[in-house]
């Protein structure tokens, strides 16, 4: 899989753009980077007063992120914790009592399915796990081929695409009606034994939103949270350089540092800089994050519920909103459909803007998106 080095480099370049500037007032800037959260690179910048300097925020933030990571983990169980893995292990067996945060993410996702046309389906796990295994297999095979080439040995690709029969069978277990919620008991039950919960389309955004709340409750006035490109802002930027807002940019989906084509060699899309204020968030779903290239076609981790295959309509979709969980959810939904359908979906949500980069690399904006560009 080709995303790892690119994701790490992009995270640091984006962090440099977001977090630039030194404090010229009573607040000092601290940036904490974590490598063991949500299978991505996470950075959190906070501005601290002198009294807060020795309060151990780096470790405290790390522990908060780890607690959310464990709660939404679909692949590992933890003693004394009912998480996504626990729910899946109990599919067709029994309802699972869960913590409020996990219940809220699931409830929110179900309630928004109608407005988004079912394009963000959190019980698509039976299908997404097939593609995850496929992409892991391709990545392992590519690594073996690189080693063999270094040793002068020919290596013939053997990884086959998932069969239509396998995908069709898995799709039978993705009906949201099989997900049963009991609000009073706060339980989650997958009535179909083969159904699998996958909240990857909303978890990072929700965690960013919750962490911003945690930081505010801890007395931090200003922060920029970046969970693998899911960005959430708390308060005004306090660098003391006259700019009280943060800035970010949209990554160019066809970025190639070795290309001589200026449209490909630019790291960010059309050099657009976006202005982010208190409570703003910016979330991008893109086919350059986790993908494999086969026969000149890019197959990403973003699976279209309608086809069971990696979505091909878009290269990236960026959402600007004030709720990071909603932005994450919508970026996935809009990635599956054309621009007109995406605009129809957005009409259900006030104050949300979007930027589309289609598979042909055409750029489209919702009506208010360009108003957010920094001058």
Extract the tokens encoding 113: 């399915």
Write out the chain's pLDDT in tens, 375 residues: 444 445 544 554 455 455 444 444 688 999 999 999 998 999 999 999 988 987 899 999 999 999 999 999 999 999 999 999 999 999 999 999 999 999 999 999 999 999 999 999 999 999 999 999 999 999 888 888 888 877 776 666 678 999 999 999 999 999 999 999 999 999 999 999 999 999 999 999 999 999 999 999 999 999 999 999 899 999 999 998 989 999 999 999 988 888 888 888 888 888 789 999 999 999 999 998 888 888 888 999 999 999 999 999 999 999 999 999 999 999 999 999 999 999 999 999 999 999 999 999 999 999 999 999 886
| Whole-number pLDDT of residue 6 | 52
Residue 72 · residue 102 · CB < 8 Å: yes
Q: What distance, in Å, lies between the first and last C-alpha atoms of the chain?
A: 37
Which pLDDT value is given to residue 157?
63
d(CA 97, CA 256): 47
Other Cβ atoms within 10 Å of 35 Cβ, number: 10
Query: Is residue 325 a contact partner of residue 104, using CB atoms and an 8 Å limit?
Result: no
pLDDT in the model for residue 154: 65
Q: What pLDDT, on a 0 to 100 scale, did the predictor assign at position 374?
A: 83
| Contact status, residue 66 vs residue 277, Cβ threshold 8 Å | no
Contact (CB, 8 A) for 14 and 303 = no
Rounded Cα gap, residues 11 and 16, in angstroms: 9
Residue 232, Ramachandran bin (φ over 0: left; ψ between -120 and 50: alpha; else beta)? beta
Structure tokens at 175: 């009906």
Residue 355: both structure tokens together: 């930027």
CA 18 to mean position of chain CA atoms: 18
* Beta strand ranges found along the chain (DSSP E): 28-37, 40-48, 96-97, 179-182, 187-190, 222-227, 230-234, 246-251, 268-276, 281-286, 291-294, 297-300, 314-321, 353-358, 363-365
pTM for this predicted structure: 0.90
Chain CA centroid to CA 135, Å: 18
Fold of 3-72+201-372: T-fold (3.10.520)
Q: Are the beta carbons of 45 and 29 closer than 8 angstroms?
A: yes
Show the tokens assigned to 367.
């009506």
Burial (CB count within 10 angstroms: exposed 0-12, middle 13-18, buried 19+), residue 218 = middle
Tokens in use for 155?
Answer: 């290596």
């Amino acid at each position: 899989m080709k995303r790892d080095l690119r994701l790490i480099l992009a995270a640091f370049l984006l962090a440099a753009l977001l977090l630039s500037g030194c404090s010229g007032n009573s607040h000092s800037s601290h940036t904490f980077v974590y490598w063991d959260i949500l299978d991505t690179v996470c950075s959190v910048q906070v501005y601290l007063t002198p009294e807060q300097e020795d309060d151990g925020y780096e470790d405290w933030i790390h522990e908060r992120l780890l607690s959310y990571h464990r709660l939404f983990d679909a692949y590992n169980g933890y003693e004394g914790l009912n998480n996504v893995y626990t729910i899946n292990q109990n599919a067709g067996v029994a309802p699972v009592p869960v913590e409020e945060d996990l219940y809220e993410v699931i409830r929110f996702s179900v309630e928004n399915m109608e407005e988004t046309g079912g394009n963000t389906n959190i019980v698509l796990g039976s299908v997404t796990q097939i593609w995850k295994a496929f992409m892991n297999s391709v990545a392992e095979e590519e690594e073996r081929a690189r080693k063999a080439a270094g040793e002068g040995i020919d290596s013939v690709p053997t990884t086959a695409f998932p069969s239509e029969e396998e995908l069709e069978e898995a799709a039978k277990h993705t009906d949201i009606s099989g997900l049963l919620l009991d609000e009073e008991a706060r339980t989650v039950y997958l009535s179909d034994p083969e159904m699998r919960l996958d909240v990857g389309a909303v978890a990072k955004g929700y965690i960013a939103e919750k962490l911003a709340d945690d930081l505010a409750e801890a007395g931090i006035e200003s922060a920029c949270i970046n969970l693998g490109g899911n960005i959430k802002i708390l308060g005004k930027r306090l660098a003391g350089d006259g700019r009280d807002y943060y800035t970010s940019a949209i990554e160019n989906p066809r970025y190639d540092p070795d290309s001589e084509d200026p449209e490909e060699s630019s790291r960010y899309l059309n050099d657009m800089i976006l202005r982010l204020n208190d409570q703003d968030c910016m979330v991008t779903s893109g086919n350059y994050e986790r993908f494999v290239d086969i026969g000149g076609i890019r197959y990403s981790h973003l699976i279209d519920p309608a086809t069971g295959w990696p979505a091909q309509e878009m290269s990236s979709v960026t959402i600007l909103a004030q709720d990071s969980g909603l932005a994450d959810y919508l970026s996935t939904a809009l990635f599956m459909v054309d621009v007109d359908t995406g605009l129809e979906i957005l009409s259900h949500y006030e104050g949300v803007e979007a930027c589309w980069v289609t598979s042909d690399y055409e750029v489209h904006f919702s009506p208010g998106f360009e108003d957010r560009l920094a001058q």
